[in-house]
Amino acid sequence: MSPDHPTPSGTADEALLGLELSDPPARPENPQVTTPLQENVLEPCDPFAEEDRPVPLPGSAGEHLLQRAYGTEKRARRFYDDQVLDHLNDEMKAFIGRMELAFVATADARGECDSSLRAGPPGFIQVLDDRHLCYPEYRGNGVMASLGNISENPHVGILLVDFVTDLIGLHVNGGARIVEDADLRAVHPTLPSEFDRGRTPERWVVVQVEEAYIHCRKHIPRMVPVLRQRSWGTDDVKRKGGDYFSAKGTPRPWHRVEVSAG
């Protein structure tokens, strides 16, 4: 890579092919001290941090503070103890193996967020072991919003939902790495080689699981799958629905309008 186009920090090299992720940047000892990336955001003090427990509770300091403020500590503790795992159990692995879509949430180094849809045939998300899963990245619009965020900030949140049969969801949160297709296959040769509509992954996102827990079925709508026949392998905007919201031509701050001479 040239100096103007350095390798993103989230891209794995040979030393990372064991899929052990590097530790996140250390937080300042003084929660009132911010880094340039934090700007004016102050890290709250966790009200449960002083408790005598060998491992901290799941969740963020912010959610713990609100649990105390709104009186939901007992319900939250019961959920942590009953439903939150730091790995994937057999039931979760089977669930992931039959999912055809996932919602992936990422944020850049400044905390600005993005949520994106990933989809494919059952099994397009591969479970590598109890603590790792991966999903493929194909040629898209070239924006690289999710991957760009991961290159700055490895934290990702994945939501998988069964809208058809069981009406249940699974959250998987963890640290992510971008791994080129050939590099991941060198470590995991059993990865699938045949893909939906002949698409071939350019690279994969490998996620080291930190939290895995249920999403309640109470408000999940039931949906009925239908056959999908679409024309692919094209960059035709109309066939892809690329300007469905009529955004093209709308003025915006970063849009440079080409003015023809004459």
Cβ-based neighbours of 148, under 8 Å, separated by 6 or more? 8, 108
The set of residues, in sequence order, having a beta carbon less than 8 Å from that of 76 and lying 6+ positions away, is: 59, 63, 64, 67
Inform me whether the pLDDT recorded for 254 exceeds 90. no
pLDDT at 262 over 70: no
Confidence (pLDDT) at 234: 55
For residue 25, pLDDT beyond 80: no
Torsion over CA: 197, 199, 204, 205 (sign): negative
Give the pLDDT of residue 257: 65
Please indicate, yes or no, if residue 95 is contained in any of the structural domains: yes
Distance CA 20, CA 26 (A): 17
Number of domains in the chain: 2
Q: Is residue 256 part of a domain?
A: no
Bridge partners, 11 (sequence order): 178
Range picked from 36-50, 55-69, 93-107, 131-145 for highest mean pLDDT: 93-107
In this predicted structure, which of 127-131, 197-201, 204-208 has the lowest mean pLDDT?
197-201
Q: For residue 192, what are the domain limits?
A: 90-215
Indicate if 80 and 94 belong to the same structural domain: no
Instruction: Specify whether 94 is located in the same domain as 115.
Output: yes
One domain, residues 207 and 105: yes
Average pLDDT over residues 62-67: 94
pLDDT tens, residue by residue, 162-181: 999 999 999 999 999 999 99
Residue 135 shares a structural domain with residue 150: yes
Q: Is residue 247 part of a domain?
A: no
pLDDT over 80 at 79, yes or no: yes
Higher pLDDT, 47 or 83: 83
* pLDDT: which is higher, 48 or 13: 48
Give kind and range of the element (H or E) at residue 61.
helix 61-70
Give residue 41's pLDDT. 60
Domain of 134, CATH number, reads 2.30.110.10
The proportion of the chain whose per-residue pLDDT surpasses 90, expressed as a percent, equals 57
- pLDDT, residue 238, reads 58
- Based on the fold, state whether residues 71 and 141 are members of the same structural domain: no
**Structural domain ending residue among the three candidates 58, 84, 110:** 84
Classify residue 232: in a domain, yes or no: no
pLDDT attached to residue 34: 40
Q: Is residue 25 part of a domain?
A: no
Of 93-102, 175-184, 221-230, the poorest mean pLDDT is in: 221-230
Which of 54, 84, 114 is the last residue before a domain boundary? 84
Q: Do residue 176 and residue 134 come from a single domain?
A: yes
In a domain, 262, yes or no: no
**Shared domain check, 95 and 80:** no
The reply to whether 67 and 131 lie within a common domain is no
Verify that 122 and 192 share a domain, yes or no: yes
pLDDT, residue 233, reads 55
Average pLDDT over residues 233-253: 72
pLDDT value, residue 200 = 86
Model confidence, pTM: 0.77
Quote the CA–CA distance of 123 and 195 in Å, as a whole number.
Answer: 10
Residue 19 within any structural domain of the chain: no
Same domain for 73 and 39? Answer: yes
Provide the pLDDT for residue 244: 81
199 with 124, same domain: the answer is yes
Mean pLDDT (the chain) is 82
Has residue 14 been placed in a domain?
Answer: no
| The pLDDT of residue 55 | 81
Question: Quick one: pLDDT band at residue 6, thresholds 50, 70, 90?
Answer: very low
Q: Return the DSSP state at 221.
A: P
pLDDT beyond 70 at 8: no
Residues 149 and 184 in one domain: yes
